Amino acid sequence: GVCGHFPHKAHPEMTRTAAAPAPTQSPEPRCGFIGLIGRPNVGKSTLLNRLVGQPVSIITPKPQTTRNRIRGIRTEEAVQMVFIDTPGIHAGSRKLNQRMNQYALETLEGNDLLVWLVEPFPESEEAIPKKEQAVLEQFRGQESCTIVLLNKCDTATKVQVVRSLDLLGQAGAFLGIVPGSALKDQNLDPLLNLIRAHLPESPFFFESDQVTDATERFLVSEFVREALFRRLRQEVPYSTAVRVERFQESERCIEIDCQIFVERDSQKGIIIGKGGSMLKEVGTAARQRVERLLGHKVFLRLHVKVVRRWADDAFHLRQLGYE
Ligand code: GDP
Ligand code: MG
């Protein structure tokens, strides 16, 4: 396994020396990277936000909402946990899908710990479903530093939970298997206890009050994308990308210009909506979240631009931050 190795491949810019001084008394500070893995829609971003205590990763009922590698930081008195949320591994042949899968696969490497999120299996299952088996194969060999979170237990039957735990127990020598609910905040303490106990002794990497390493610009573009994803249907959300073009602070407000990219004229029409109604709704929803994030009055302008097949184009993917 690669658990416990450092430096971390996915975040080479960090070193174990940077950061705030830890408390001088014992215990020794612990700090490390925890990769969140699992199929799309299983609740990875929900868990990240829950454990960090505020939204740093956007969540929608649609699969493949998360496109980048998002780090969320939880700092306790003597422990700092750096969670890495990624897109779930999924099918899809476009260049964007390939980038997303690459982020997901990179998360499997070089972490101190992994948390594998799984949904309770249907009662009729007599073995781990094939799709979950396929995820397990991706990190074979790292079971001993993987904690399994059987998520969404709030919507499962007792029989489902018991059987799923049983099948998972047979599937590998995991560090632990915890039934719980990220959404309802149920039974996450055992998960945190396991993480605390198994992170390496190390100074903190980040300041204690830092909840993410993402820039404000990135978070703003993500909030706009979240508002779009929540309102658009079928293929349209998957054809949109958002980039902040201007971010100007003055005493009275912060002015932000965002460019929304779509792939077709018809999609541009849908996003603008009748008389601009859709764009206005998206802008209002996103602005409220951005104001909460920045603690400041925000003036948010949204523009829509057609760039044919940006999701297949290496240049545009780079321009849009999907490195
Ligand atoms: P991701 O694709 O793995 O990041 O999944 P998300 O965190 O975006 O969640 C996908 C959907 O599942 C959202 O609608 C969440 O509200 C929902 N969800 C996440 N965790 C739970 C849970 O513990 N219970 C229930 N009932 N729903 C959940
Ligand atoms: Mg996600």
Residues, the chain: 323
Alpha carbons 234 and 240: distance in angstroms, whole number: 12
Q: Whose CA is nearest to atom 13 of ligand 1?
A: 61
* Per-residue model confidence as pLDDT tens digits over 70-88: 889 999 999 999 999 888 7
Q: Two tokens at 142?
A: 């790292």
Going by alpha carbons, the residue nearest to atom 17 of ligand 1 is 43
> H helices of the chain, where?
44-52, 95-107, 130-138, 158-171, 189-198, 216-231, 265-272, 277-294, 314-319
pTM of the full structure: 0.81
Taking the CA of residue 39 as reference, the ligand 1 atom at the shortest distance is 3
- C-alpha closest to that of 247 among 239, 236, 256, 238: 256
Give me the mean pLDDT over the 281-298 stretch.
92
Choice from 36, 46, 115 to test ligand 1 binding pocket (greatest atom count within 8 A of CB): 46
- Rounded to 5°, angle at Cα 258 from 66 and 67: 10
- Separation between Cα atoms, residue 88 and residue 36, nearest integer Å: 9
CA distance linking residue 116 with residue 194, whole number of Å: 13
* CA–CA dist 65, 142 (Å, integer): 26
The pLDDT tens digits for 11-44 are: 433 334 455 555 556 679 999 999 999 998 999 9
The atom of ligand 1 lying closest to the CA of 63 is 2
